[in-house]
Amino acid sequence: MIRKTFKNLNASEKLKTFIQKHKVPTEYLSANRKMVSRAVFIGLFIAFIPMPMQMLAVVILIPFIRFNVPIALAMCWLSNPFTMPAMYYMEYMTGSFLLGMETTPVELTVEWFRQNIGNIFIPLYVGAAFYSIVGSSVGYYLVNHLWRSSVKKDQISRKNGTYKRASKSKKKSTKTNKSKS
């Protein structure tokens, strides 16, 4: 399913003209298993780190690691203004548990945060490191597993003769039939 979506997206003429018009390097948009799984890893890793400008951190990694940039940027939005309080609370509690520290009762106010930043900083970032490593690794291996199982499923379907691939002629005939109606 994932691979088929990317194949259809790669075949899009509108996308090709956009890429040519704005001179976007195609290696940053490559939709193969390695590029997508790396993007998920990088995006999730950065998403769990409590810091401003997470998308900028993804962009800074572009010259050093090859990955699908739009997917990594999208994965950063796992931590958004709606999910951040729950994520940071979870990270703080986990970090406190891993360090064996007492937890401070949490209030979701800026004033409380300012007063207690010294007490929660280390446990928060220990928990963030834990979730960054575990969450991004699980995402990486899950994408790899799903991608490979999709390939195997397609290979089995081809062997059995049940593989269905939409051809361009079928798409065109469907469009002309819809316009006639």
Q: How many domains does the chain have?
A: 1
How big is the CA angle at 71 (ends 141 and 146), to the nearest 5 degrees?
A: 30
Range with the largest mean pLDDT of 16-20, 24-28, 104-108, 117-121: 117-121
23: left (phi over 0), alpha (psi -120 to 50) or beta: left
Judge contact between 79 and 48, C-beta under 8 A.
yes
Residues whose CB is less than 8 angstroms from the CB of residue 107 and which lie 6 or more positions away in sequence, other chains included: none
| Averaged confidence pLDDT in the chain | 82
pLDDT in tens, 123-160: 999 999 999 999 999 999 999 999 899 888 888 888 88
What local confidence, expressed as pLDDT, does residue 61 receive?
92
- pLDDT higher for 142 or 13? 142
Whether 97 has a pLDDT exceeding 70, the answer reads yes
Judge contact between 19 and 130, C-beta under 8 A.
no
What local confidence, expressed as pLDDT, does residue 15 receive?
67
CA atoms within 13 A on the CB side of 154: 12
* Model confidence band, residue 13 (pLDDT cutoffs 50, 70, 90): confident
What local confidence, expressed as pLDDT, does residue 139 receive?
95
The CA distances from residue 48 to 23, 90, 117, 151, in Å, are: 32, 11, 18, 30
Residues listed for the chain: 181
What are 13-20's contacts with CB under 8 Å, separation 24+? none
* Model confidence band, residue 9 (pLDDT cutoffs 50, 70, 90): low
Q: Could you tell me the two tokens for 129?
A: 């490191």
Domain span at residue 58 reads: 2-180
